[in-house]
Structure 1
Amino acid sequence: MIRTASVVLLLLAAQIADSQNFNNTGKEFVVVFPENIAYYHPTDPINEIWVTALHHNTRITIEKLNIDYDHMSAGETTNYTTDLELKKPDIPENSTSLNVFSISDEAIKVTSTKDVVVQAISLRKNSVQYAPVIPSHKLGTKYFIPPVPGLEESPDDGAVVVNVTERGPFRLIIVNPGEDQANVTIKGEEEFGGAIEPGKVAQILLNNNGQYQYVEADRPVAVFLSHPCAFQDNCTCGLLHAMVPAAKDDKEEFLIPPILAEQASILLSDEKSRTSTDSTAAVDSEGTVILHKPSFLLTLMSKKDFGSCFVLTSLRYLIKSFHIVVHKDDKNGIYIGRNPAGYTDWEELKGTDYVSTHVSVTFPKAFLWHNSSVMAVYLVGEKNGRMYGNPAPVVSSIPDYRGCVVTPEVIEILDEEKGWKESIKSCETKHLDLISLSDNRLQKQLCSKISAKGVKEAWIGTRRSSLTGDWYWLNYNKFNDTNWAPGKPGKKDQGQCAVMSLKPDDDCSWKDKNCCDAIRPFCYKPPEFLPM
């Protein structure tokens, strides 16, 4: 009996890679609302946390808001309002120095018993900003600081004014979501830093000469670029706020929807450079790529961060449209809930194989998903002619023709070779089933994922009836879609059970075998889907 442990390792590696693709789901989040001056208008802010559950019986706890909400259902969204908001950084009187590391206590911790998606929106008069919240376990320790956008209104002599908020510099907001102190350093031509206690927030002032290039911490932190009252037009200002993604290991490609790129600049930063470029269809970076307009900072998704399922929330109907970027061969297969989307108004991204479309939001909430590919989706709003928006929250990066995956499927070819009946029990010991392939779409989907070098075949969950000789599946589904190899199956007395071929050129075809042959079992657990 040959044992090839590498097969299981290859399968598990693929499975882990799938489950660790980027998404916005988690059980712990830290939310912070930036200072929002709002057109110099003395109205109170409306800061809201929106939580979408992905599983039934989910319990939500929000510290500082005294929220303890039990039994959220899968697909349910609730929102909570707070007046907690960052204040102006604590700057020494008459100071002109930017070396300010101001600590505050306005962070809000959201925890859940099962995976959820969290979004935050800040609204004050006509000043609106929206962002999905990255779960704490997906944060990083190094962030490249994007170039600081130029503000239209500044002091006549060009000097930095730190004590006049609306004419002051942009800020870095750094949040420590952990249970231990985070030591943070702002590095570049100059260097300074400080310690952030658990659950605390630091604000650091930035000028536009680029002396600070990246943030480095000894523990995972969240980083934002923000300005509470950036000048826009007609003596008005509004909040600019964008999440900064953690530094990437390699350069990745970022695709830009044409309609969003109109009259916009792209803020790029990585290990070697910090630049601002005119709008384009695609850029490469290992750091931050942010689209900038006077009222708009939008963090772009890299192709590696594309998802297959997204939460679309109108957020008080403040979100007016969503924008999709997808490969030109994958325009079909997009669904809203259970209904095919059928979008036809696609625009090419010049110099790429991708296309983009934008669609008006006509519903309070929906789930947008692709049955065979991944895509980028951005939520965008507009208030009095000024845009705001950010990526839609990614629920899953695992395409599946059956729906929106919230718990990945388990695929495992066990190491030990046994007879067909014994293989059923081997799968059951791992809380899995000998796989039933009653749908040819499932077979094609799994066949594309299997990597089983050195293994020629594996038992699957079908055999002949001892009474009639007819084939049946262990899960009792109809025996319709078949993938028998040429000339198979043989006569009733030639083989009572079936195997799937794992040879690269056999297209996962089936053969009948003697049920007592020693062969590896193909064990499986289906994914959990979000109810639509």
Structure 2
Amino acid sequence: MFAILLTVSMFSQGSTMVSYGKSFITAFPENLGYFYPNTSNRLRVTALLDGTSVNIFYNGNSTPTQTITHILKGEIVTVVFPKSAEVYQLNYSTQSIRITSNKYIAVHSVSSTNFTINVISAQTNVVQPNENLGMNYLIPSLNYTTFLTTFGITQSAPWSTRYDSFRLIIINAEDTENNITIVKNISDKIQLVNFTIPSYQLIQLQADDSMMMVNSSSKIAVLLTHPCLDKPGCTCSMIVNQILPVRFQGQKFVVPHVRDITQRQLVMTSNDNSDLLSQDNTPLTSSSSGYLSLPDLNTRYVTASSNVSLKLIIPGLFIELIPENQFAACYMLPFYSNNQWAVVIAKTGSRDKVRTDPLVNPNWSELFHTPYSQAEISLSNQMNIIWHPSSKIVVYVVEKFNNIIFGGPAIPIKENPDSSGCMTPVEFVVGEKPLKWTESLAYCTTSQIQFACPTDEDVQIEFAKQVNTTNVEGWIGLRRSLMTTAWYWQTNTTSESSSVNYVYWADGQPQDKKFELCASLSLNQTDDFKWKSAKCCEKKLPVCYQQRKILPPLTMTSTVYIP
């Protein structure tokens, strides 16, 4: 048995955001008012590796409300929550939902009225893993009355002040009391609102155009919501937008064209009020409400003067736009209705290499004066994968049921392109017992995995992202030749593997001693996981890993109900 199982994410600050992890926290905002009885709240949990176990913690429970075991990679489990899971009160609440797992998973959320009867309101949301959460968030300046005026909408429910503002749900993602500061600008004066949130609890606040920023002492999740956002035709629809931390901002965005949309605006948030957004070197002028209009409904390539966040605002739908520096190579697409499509944006020169499962030949539309093209791909399956073998792309999912349009970004699960396809994460395993180097090699190969070989910087970085044990060292598959003393990689018990093109030695390493023929690395983050030479007979923890494998077709397997 393995004592420590370590699956390394591809996420780090400054790199592309992938949306899988082993720990998540979220909530279900109110949908169409507390009086509406026929709403459905679900999470889809997708396993990326075999042997996955998942725990669901609900309504403040310190022990799992539900445990799901033996999930295979590519399998999807639907977790259904009761109506009482919706957060409708303005104040503190224990209604957060935590999801933890032993291996990497992706989580997608949907709130809707019953699809089998009559969808009046629906909204989906990628639940971000805790690795993607932060302590600094910028809040878009949104006034509900101004929103209605901008889109020429008459408020359908003037009888209720309950729905005359947006809402902000702040969830404490840590098992400790979290100190929160909300920065407001009221009549050009900065005001600070301070409070605390207990472990894993949340608070729901009314959000208006005075809110600028939320800061915290530890990680939080922030949801911008509205239970019944007015739309033309005396209808309304719920919105859910998980705001991303400031480190995921960017300067260049491709604003997609969304079918059947006749109105749209942009909302930009940044640290600097002087930031400008432009298209083809022409600044986009904001209205007094702060909304930015594009000249038409076509796909547009826009650039900000510094790093910003950008939202595409449509009546009944907010879409968080993914900046160019956050594009990825592979996406998971969850759908819930029968009228669904993907909006794919890829570089024009390699757009025909975009792959779907099953393969679909899209009709591309070139975005002039940019390197990109857009295509709408109609897909029939409820779960799909879109990937590119050599370039990064961005994918949004859109659905339409009757006159309800909902969707948002797809789930990015692979940062860098791979010609083999959409790959599962690398899985590292650290043995529980110190062994000699040769014993460690046998330990890894006997377990049908291989000696960890950080043959390039990407693998070394992946290893370093989550491994942080006590002050111990581990063996890797690097050693010296007895004949030439040259270093080489050995991944099995019978042969020398590839030559060494990448090294990460500590200062003064390797020692120029013929009896130090093997290599180890520190398992302590404070030592920066540097390598050093060592005697092969010394005992250290074996470090093994499972290489990436092609992610199989996704399959819906079971449904679990939370009481």
User: TM-score under structure 1 normalisation?
Assistant: 0.70
Residue of structure 2 in register with 1:177 after alignment = 173
Which amino acid is the alignment partner of residue 23 of structure 2?
Answer: E
Q: CA shift at 1:294, angstroms?
A: 0.8
Q: Note if contact 2:391-2:417 (Cα within 8 Å) is conserved in structure 1.
A: yes
Aligned to 1:147, which of 133, 141, 149? 141
Specify the SS of the correspondent of 2:89.
Answer: coil
Q: CA shift at 1:162, angstroms?
A: 12
Which amino acid is the alignment partner of residue 246 of structure 1?
Answer: P
Residue of structure 1 in register with 2:370 after alignment = 352
Which amino acid is the alignment partner of residue 375 of structure 1?
Answer: I
Which amino acid is the alignment partner of residue 357 of structure 1?
Answer: A
Residue of structure 2 in register with 1:494 after alignment = none
Which amino acid is the alignment partner of residue 233 of structure 2?
Answer: N
**Structure 1 residues 330, 408: CA separation in 2 closer, same or farther (over 3 Å shift)?**
farther
**Structure 1 residues 251, 288: CA separation in 2 closer, same or farther (over 3 Å shift)?**
closer
Residue of structure 2 in register with 1:227 after alignment = 226
Residue of structure 2 in register with 1:121 after alignment = 110
Q: Note if contact 1:334-1:342 (Cα within 8 Å) is conserved in structure 2.
A: no
- Measured in 1, the distance between the counterparts of 2:241 and 2:495 equals 43
Residue of structure 1 in register with 2:205 after alignment = 204
Aligned to 1:334, which of 331, 342, 354? 354
Higher radius of gyration, 1 or 2 = 1
Q: Note if contact 1:432-1:525 (Cα within 8 Å) is conserved in structure 2.
A: no
Specify the SS of the correspondent of 2:199.
Answer: coil
Q: Note if contact 1:424-1:433 (Cα within 8 Å) is conserved in structure 2.
A: no
- Measured in 1, the distance between the counterparts of 2:409 and 2:329 equals 13
How far does the alpha carbon of each residue in 1:34-91 deviate from its partner, in whole angstroms, 9 at most, with x for none? 11116x973321000001111111011112383211111110111111024344334x
**Structure 1 residues 429, 195: CA separation in 2 closer, same or farther (over 3 Å shift)?**
farther
Specify the SS of the correspondent of 2:220.
Answer: strand
Residue of structure 1 in register with 2:334 after alignment = 313
Q: CA shift at 1:388, angstroms?
A: 1.2
Aligned to 2:46, which of 52, 55, 61? 52
- Measured in 2, the distance between the counterparts of 1:432 and 1:314 equals 47
- Measured in 2, the distance between the counterparts of 1:531 and 1:256 equals 31
Aligned to 2:291, which of 259, 272, 276? 276
- Measured in 1, the distance between the counterparts of 2:493 and 2:203 equals 47
Unaligned runs of 5+ in 2: 1-9, 59-63, 114-118, 186-190, 276-289, 295-299, 428-452, 457-476, 505-543, 554-563
Unaligned runs of 5+ in 1: 1-14, 91-101, 437-445, 454-522
Aligned to 2:321, which of 300, 316, 336? 300
- Measured in 1, the distance between the counterparts of 2:179 and 2:68 equals 34
**Structure 1 residues 431, 272: CA separation in 2 closer, same or farther (over 3 Å shift)?**
farther
- Measured in 2, the distance between the counterparts of 1:431 and 1:215 equals 57
Aligned to 2:342, which of 315, 319, 322? 322
How far does the alpha carbon of each residue in 1:342-397 deviate from its partner, in whole angstroms, 9 at most, with x for none? 32x11223432111111112112222111111111111112332321111111111
How far does the alpha carbon of each residue in 1:89-114 deviate from its partner, in whole angstroms, 9 at most, with x for none? 34xxxxxxxxxxx2111111111110
Q: CA shift at 1:288, angstroms?
A: 2.3
- Measured in 2, the distance between the counterparts of 1:384 and 1:529 equals 37
Q: Note if contact 2:250-2:323 (Cα within 8 Å) is conserved in structure 1.
A: no
Residue of structure 2 in register with 1:435 after alignment = 498
Aligned residue pairs: how many?
Answer: 416
Q: Note if contact 1:291-1:299 (Cα within 8 Å) is conserved in structure 2.
A: yes
Which amino acid is the alignment partner of residue 74 of structure 1?
Answer: K
Residue of structure 1 in register with 2:393 after alignment = 375
Aligned to 1:164, which of 129, 140, 161? 161
Residue of structure 2 in register with 1:195 after alignment = 196
Instruction: Establish whether residue 31 from structure 1 lines up as the match of residue 26 from structure 2.
Output: yes
**Structure 1 residues 357, 195: CA separation in 2 closer, same or farther (over 3 Å shift)?**
same
Specify the SS of the correspondent of 2:131.
Answer: helix
How far does the alpha carbon of each residue in 1:479-514 deviate from its partner, in whole angstroms, 9 at most, with x for none? xxxxxxxxxxxxxxxxxxxxxxxxxxxxxxxxxxxx
Residue of structure 1 in register with 2:266 after alignment = 266
Specify the SS of the correspondent of 1:152.
Answer: helix
Q: Note if contact 1:59-1:71 (Cα within 8 Å) is conserved in structure 2.
A: yes
- Measured in 2, the distance between the counterparts of 1:380 and 1:54 equals 24
Specify the SS of the correspondent of 2:424.
Answer: strand
Residue of structure 2 in register with 1:514 after alignment = none
Q: Note if contact 2:478-2:490 (Cα within 8 Å) is conserved in structure 1.
A: no
Q: CA shift at 1:262, angstroms?
A: 5.4
Which amino acid is the alignment partner of residue 407 of structure 2?
Answer: G
- Measured in 2, the distance between the counterparts of 1:349 and 1:215 equals 36
How far does the alpha carbon of each residue in 1:240-264 deviate from its partner, in whole angstroms, 9 at most, with x for none? 2211111037743121113368521
Q: Note if contact 1:119-1:132 (Cα within 8 Å) is conserved in structure 2.
A: yes
- Measured in 1, the distance between the counterparts of 2:66 and 2:410 equals 25
Which amino acid is the alignment partner of residue 62 of structure 1?
Answer: I
Q: Note if contact 1:140-1:246 (Cα within 8 Å) is conserved in structure 2.
A: yes
Q: Note if contact 1:435-1:524 (Cα within 8 Å) is conserved in structure 2.
A: no
Specify the SS of the correspondent of 1:194.
Answer: strand
Specify the SS of the correspondent of 1:403.
Answer: coil
- Measured in 2, the distance between the counterparts of 1:431 and 1:114 equals 31
- Measured in 1, the distance between the counterparts of 2:14 and 2:96 equals 29
Which amino acid is the alignment partner of residue 362 of structure 1?
Answer: S
Q: Note if contact 1:244-1:288 (Cα within 8 Å) is conserved in structure 2.
A: no
Q: Note if contact 1:241-1:297 (Cα within 8 Å) is conserved in structure 2.
A: yes
- Measured in 1, the distance between the counterparts of 2:39 and 2:226 equals 15
Specify the SS of the correspondent of 1:434.
Answer: coil
How far does the alpha carbon of each residue in 1:115-136 deviate from its partner, in whole angstroms, 9 at most, with x for none? 0000000002411000111001
- Measured in 2, the distance between the counterparts of 1:294 and 1:430 equals 62
Q: CA shift at 1:19, angstroms?
A: 11
How far does the alpha carbon of each residue in 1:187-207 deviate from its partner, in whole angstroms, 9 at most, with x for none? 132221311111111112122
**Structure 1 residues 59, 529: CA separation in 2 closer, same or farther (over 3 Å shift)?**
same
Structure 1 vs Structure 2 CA RMSD: 3.6
Specify the SS of the correspondent of 1:330.
Answer: helix
Residue of structure 2 in register with 1:137 after alignment = 131
How far does the alpha carbon of each residue in 1:259-315 deviate from its partner, in whole angstroms, 9 at most, with x for none? 368521011001013942113432436342111111111111111221111112223
Moved more, 129-138 or 279-288: 279-288
Q: CA shift at 1:175, angstroms?
A: 1.0
Q: CA shift at 1:224, angstroms?
A: 1.5
- Measured in 1, the distance between the counterparts of 2:548 and 2:14 equals 11
- Measured in 2, the distance between the counterparts of 1:250 and 1:364 equals 30
Higher RCO (CA-CA < 8 Å; seq separation 6+):
2
